[in-house]
Amino acid sequence: MLVFKQAAGLQAWLDTERRDGKTVGFAPTMGALHQGHLSLIEIAKTECDLTVASIFVNPTQFNDPADLEKYPRMPEQDIALLIGAGCHALFMPSVDEVYPPGLDLRLQLDFGPLDQVMEGKFRPGHFGGMAMVVNRLLDIVQPHRLYMGQKDFQQLTIVGDMLRQLGSAIQLVRCPTTREADGLAMSSRNLRLSPAMRAAAPAIYQSMQAAKAALPGEPASAVQARGMETLRAAGLDPEYFDIVDGHSLLPVEHYADSNFIVVCAAAWAGDVRLIDNLVIKENPAAT
Ligand code: AMP
């Protein structure tokens, strides 16, 4: 696997490969890699000639400086995992390489309600920083396909909207959420869970499964209230448990109201903030 710290080196290599007709798949990450990240590489490898990953802990998407400080970093282990997964190249830039001093990379895009609800409400500024770094990384890598996880459903929706607004030809690929055996969605943040909180955390997946089973027969407001209660009873501190339309991210009250319904949850497990989601209904013909 080739490892690039500078954009120019990566671009020179990719230019040569693209001239040979190779297709490029790209999976941006913040490192502390787990099987969820590696699943993106595995899917990209089946669809593209070359797979590029990036590891960059993006300071502009952390609204809480303590969260940025505590974010796990383990580059040697990450490199070994990517080699094992057969990734072709890794881009591991410094902050100055991504944000050259003096260059204003902020995007003037309006995401409407997409970046105001759920994570947008609880992490102000997060999606602006996320969109800026994804756009910058896409400018550098110029992939044919972009691989991102369903795990961060709101992020995926906003990136899809960003590509549409920019008129980009890059194809966004939604990759399924990889879970531990007990249902907990894999996350770099799970490393920081205490044993007691690790034992409590699968309640998030269980509460979403219960919501999926209940929604056809009950209004969303009742299902949501019960979801919040289940999370509290498990010892977690939930921020939201929202049932939304998978396109607009606006609340859905009844099962019949939308062809694409997703339950999205965020909860604190001690001092670790976890998010997850589950598709309740998706009608492929209508999405
Ligand atoms: P992160 O390093 O948390 O920024 O995540 C990088 C990419 O990996 C994003 O597209 C995430 O949605 C995706 N990802 C993170 N966790 C998982 C998971 N458990 N399953 C699938 N994809 C994931």
Average pLDDT over residues 231-250: 98
Average pLDDT over residues 217-223: 98
Residue nearest (by alpha carbon) to ligand 1 atom 14 = 149
**What phi-psi label fits residue 251: left (phi over 0), alpha (psi between -120 and 50 degrees) or beta?**
beta
Nearest to 152 by CA among 105, 120, 125: 120
Domain contains 156: yes
Residue 171 is inside which H or E element, if any?
Answer: strand 171-175
Domain contains 24: yes
pLDDT at 260: 98
Judgement on whether residues 142 and 261 belong to the same structural domain of the protein: no
Domain contains 282: no
Helix (H, G, I), strand (E, B) or coil at 41: helix
Judgement on whether residues 156 and 76 belong to the same structural domain of the protein: yes
HSE on the CB side for 198, CA within 13 Å?
12
Domain contains 250: yes
Q: Is residue 127 predicted with pLDDT exceeding 60?
A: yes
Domain contains 223: yes
Q: What is the pTM of this model?
A: 0.97
Q: CA-CA distance, 176 to 93, in Å (whole number)? A: 27
Judgement on whether residues 147 and 204 belong to the same structural domain of the protein: no
Domain contains 231: yes
Could you tell me the residue range of the domain that residue 269 belongs to?
193-277
Judgement on whether residues 255 and 159 belong to the same structural domain of the protein: no
Q: How far apart are the first and last CA of the chain?
A: 37
Is there an atom of ligand 1 within 6 Å of 230 CB?
A: no
Judgement on whether residues 219 and 147 belong to the same structural domain of the protein: no
Ligand 1 pocket test: pick from 26, 37, 71, 190 the residue with the most ligand atoms within 8 Å of its Cβ.
37
Residue nearest (by alpha carbon) to ligand 1 atom 10 = 148
Ligand 1 pocket test: pick from 152, 157, 175 the residue with the most ligand atoms within 8 Å of its Cβ.
152
Q: CA-CA distance, 18 to 41, in Å (whole number)? A: 19
Q: Which of 131, 147, 175 is the last residue of a domain?
A: 175
Active-site residue numbers? 37
For residue 189, count other CB atoms closer than 10 A to its CB. 17
Helix (H, G, I), strand (E, B) or coil at 282: strand
**Domain at 101, CATH number:** 3.40.50.620
pLDDT at 19: 96
Is there an atom of ligand 1 within 6 Å of 39 CB?
A: yes
The answer to whether the beta carbons of residues 172 and 163 sit under 8 Å apart is: yes
pLDDT at 180: 98
Is there an atom of ligand 1 within 6 Å of 187 CB?
A: yes
Exposure class string for 70-81: b at 16+ Cβ within 10 A, else e: ebeeeeeebbeb
Average pLDDT over residues 86-108: 94
Average pLDDT over residues 112-123: 97
The residues, any chain, with a CB within 8 Å of residue 220's CB and separated by 6 or more, are: 243, 251, 252, 253, 254
Q: Is residue 50 predicted with pLDDT exceeding 80?
A: yes
pLDDT at 283: 85
Judgement on whether residues 200 and 144 belong to the same structural domain of the protein: no
pLDDT at 106: 87
Q: How far is the CA of 83 from the centre of ligand 1 (A)?
A: 18
HSE on the CB side for 225, CA within 13 Å?
5
pLDDT at 63: 87
pLDDT at 24: 98
Judgement on whether residues 23 and 155 belong to the same structural domain of the protein: yes
**Domain at 225, CATH number:** 3.30.1300.10
Q: How far is the CA of 32 from the centre of ligand 1 (A)?
A: 10
Is there an atom of ligand 1 within 6 Å of 29 CB?
A: yes
Judgement on whether residues 98 and 166 belong to the same structural domain of the protein: yes
Domain contains 245: yes
Average pLDDT over residues 8-26: 98
pLDDT at 285: 61
Q: Is residue 168 predicted with pLDDT exceeding 70?
A: yes
Domain contains 182: no
Is there an atom of ligand 1 within 6 Å of 177 CB?
A: yes
pLDDT at 286: 54
Q: Is residue 259 predicted with pLDDT exceeding 90?
A: yes
Q: How far is the CA of 185 from the centre of ligand 1 (A)?
A: 10
The answer to whether the beta carbons of residues 90 and 1 sit under 8 Å apart is: yes
Is there an atom of ligand 1 within 6 Å of 151 CB?
A: yes
| Number of separate domains in the chain | 2
Judgement on whether residues 203 and 170 belong to the same structural domain of the protein: no
Q: CA-CA distance, 125 to 111, in Å (whole number)? A: 13
Q: What is the DSSP string of 253-281?
A: -SGGG-SEEEEEEEEEETTEEEEEEEEEE
Q: Is residue 39 predicted with pLDDT exceeding 70?
A: yes
Judgement on whether residues 120 and 216 belong to the same structural domain of the protein: no
pLDDT at 72: 92
Q: CA-CA distance, 57 to 101, in Å (whole number)? A: 17
Is there an atom of ligand 1 within 6 Å of 159 CB?
A: no
- DSSP-assigned beta bridge partners for residue 262: 244, 279
Judgement on whether residues 20 and 161 belong to the same structural domain of the protein: yes
Q: Which amino acid is at 70?
A: K
Among the atoms of ligand 1, which is closest to the Cα of residue 37?
Answer: 8
pLDDT at 140: 98
For residue 26, count other CB atoms closer than 10 A to its CB. 28
The answer to whether the beta carbons of residues 244 and 193 sit under 8 Å apart is: no
Judgement on whether residues 73 and 106 belong to the same structural domain of the protein: yes
